[in-house]
Amino acid sequence: MKELPQIAINSQTILDGVEPVFILGPCVMESEEFVWRMAHALKEIATELNLRWVFKASYDKANRTSHSSFRGTDCHEGCQILGEIGQRLQVPVTTDVHTPEEADIAAEFIDILQIPAFLCRQTDLVERAARTGRVVNVKKGQFLAPWDVDAIAEKLNHFGNDRYFFTERGSSFGYNNLVADMRSLHWIREAGHRIVFDATHSVQRPGGEGNRSGGDRRLAPVLARAAVAAGCDGVFIETHFNPDEALSDGPNQIPLDQLKSLLVTLVELHRVSRAAALNPQLAL
């Protein structure tokens, strides 16, 4: 296995394999008041559990199934709010960008630029995100094999950025369904890349309810536990005070009041998994 890079933000280590990173937050910024409430609630949990974490929220859901679905706010306003949250709560922040122009705007406020899965092969977007100098998180497209991320990594390196990681969020499996292949996590790390597992989008059923996507949030903790046991570097989890009332991706998000117990379990599983990786005899 190739030596994996360490990634830090403002001298704060984010990815090094020693501790897991948790990317936590709601699917979309439903309002400024809402996103601040979510950030404070997650900060409290992360502080209590001494977690390494990143706050996530999307300012705009640009790939909604229906034109009438809630989108969010504009790029500058959303990123400015997220930047203020990051400064006030002393936590790295991330959001997804959809165009090269948005990458430039977001880079002024955002620590980690996220490339959406559907856009992971868009060279202009990957190039612009790379050239900002920010950490880049590329969601692996549902249509890609694990080894296909090597070509994306080559693009990022070519454009002068070696501070990146990938996020696995399942692969298309027939119609309106995804399947998460835990072998992908091993293969991507084996190729020398840091890999985070998206527990909530992996249980999504794209377009599964006709004019919107469905999902089964009950399975998100199951997949999160499996991914940590398989040796991922971190877990991406979307959460909400009341997912049934969420304005986007409600079926996939974990209720906030269930998040803490899951995180406790994942931290312990990571400790056991890392010990086994360092001493293979323990895994026998």
pLDDT in tens, 64-107: 555 655 666 889 999 999 999 999 999 999 999 999 999 999 99
Percentage with pLDDT > 70 across the chain: 92
**Worst-scoring range by mean pLDDT, 34-38, 102-106, 183-187, 280-284?**
280-284
CA torsion sign for 158, 137, 8, 226 is negative
pLDDT digits (tens, 9 = 90+) for 109-164: 999 999 999 999 999 999 999 999 999 999 999 999 999 999 999 999 999 999 99
pTM of the model: 0.94
Identify the pLDDT of residue 69. Answer: 59
Question: Nearest CA to 196 among 94, 108, 123?
Answer: 94
Contacts of 170 (CB under 8 A, 6+ apart): 142, 178, 179, 180, 198, 201, 202, 203, 204
Averaged pLDDT for residues 186-200: 97
Crossing angle, helix 220-230 and helix 256-278, to 10 degrees? 20
pLDDT for the residue numbered 89? 98
At 121 the pLDDT is: 96
Q: Are 208 and 214 in contact (CB under 8 A)?
A: yes
Mean pLDDT of 212-234: 91
Residue linked to tokens 């997949």: 223
Give the H or E element holding residue 23.
Answer: strand 21-25
What is the token pair recorded at 212? 């919107």
- Give pLDDT, residue 70: 62
| Of the candidate ranges 209-218, 229-238, 270-279, the one whose mean pLDDT is the lowest | 209-218
pLDDT tens-digit profile of 42-58?
Answer: 999 999 999 999 999 99
Mean pLDDT of 182-196: 97
Read off the tokens for 233: 């570097």
**Contact call for residues 25 and 43 (beta carbons, < 8 A):** no
CA distances from 260 to 50, 86, 103, 218, 239 (A): 12, 21, 32, 15, 11
- Segment 232-258 mean pLDDT: 94
pLDDT value at residue 9:
94
Higher pLDDT, 11 or 190: 190
pLDDT of residue 10: 87
115, β-bridge pairs:
138
Q: Residue 231 has what pLDDT?
A: 94
What is the distance of C-alpha 14 from the center of its chain?
A: 13
List, in order of start, the domains of the chain with CATH numbers. Answer: 7-167+180-279 (3.20.20.70)
User: What pLDDT is attached to residue 68?
Assistant: 58
Question: Is the pLDDT confidence value at 34 over 70?
Answer: yes
Mean pLDDT of the chain: 92
The model's pLDDT over 168-180, given as tens digits with 9 standing for 90+, comes to 999 999 898 899 9
